[in-house]
Amino acid sequence: MKLDVSQYRLKLAETEEERLGAQRLRYRVFVEEMGATASPEKHAAQREWDAFDAHADHLILLQSVLTPDPLDRVVGVYRLMRRDAARTGAGFYGAKEFDLDPIERTDRDCVELGRSCVAPDHRGGPALHLLWTGLAEYVLERELEILFGVASFPGTDPAPLAEALSYLHRAHLAPPELRVRARNPITLPKLEAIDPLRAMRAIPPLIKAYLRLGGVIGEGAYVDREFNTVDVCLLMDTVAMTARYRALFQRSRSAPA
């Protein structure tokens, strides 16, 4: 499949305008679309931000067409928090939901992935592929080995998610040395039988994409009422990836961007 990428530019945010554009997109996706709570100040600015932003790298996808408001040019974003930046800044975002001690103990370089989103009008095309291309480039250039971050199911009622969450814990649980644990985890019912196909249909596409790349999850799930989600912690060990998927991940470096 040939992807038309001429309408986009992929880069790390370098200017204040680009960083504000990333926050504008986050507001529209997480607050307006998904129902996250926001302060009056954030509603007035139509941007979503927190204390972690100043210490992270922001991978952004810009549409080439000019928009009346330049902040609206950002149509895709990934927030990337290196461990050295977390230690000198505000820490890792996921630490409020998960005990990240296994990540903190390892001497392997790591990055936390967060606030990933694509504007609705740009989903289903090359946008997500390009973001993954940029993420691969970022990881490989810096020789990062562990990727992790909070990944979400929409809504705060865990009952409809019981089979999907139980399947993830049975089939994709992280190895003990990387097994972070949820703080105040939700209690899942003990299911006698799980239909893997039905469970997979209930898992959001981004989580399934990580699983295809060899991703695993930490123990437990966390209800984030502020963001109106049920969260798991996804982890990827780039060294432990199967040869097939590691090759796919590396080949994305040569994809057009």
What was the pLDDT predicted at 124? 85
Which tokens go with 176? 């003990």
Alpha carbon 93 to its chain centroid, in Å, reads: 11
Q: Give the DSSP H/E element, type plus range, for residue 153.
A: strand 146-154
Per-residue pLDDT for 59 more than 90? Answer: yes
pLDDT score of 2 more than 50: no
Summarize pLDDT for 15-32 with one digit per residue, the tens.
999 999 999 999 999 999
Amino acid at 251: R
Q: In whole angstroms, what is the distance from residue 129 CA to residue 126 CA? A: 5
Average pLDDT for residues 217-227, to the nearest whole number? 97
Q: Which residue has the higher pLDDT, 242 or 233?
A: 233
Start-to-end Cα distance in the chain:
15
Secondary structure of residue 173 in the 3-state scheme: strand
Q: Model-level pTM greater than 0.85?
A: yes
Residue 241 has pLDDT above 90, yes or no: no
Task: State pLDDT tens for residues 128-145.
Answer: 889 988 998 999 899 999
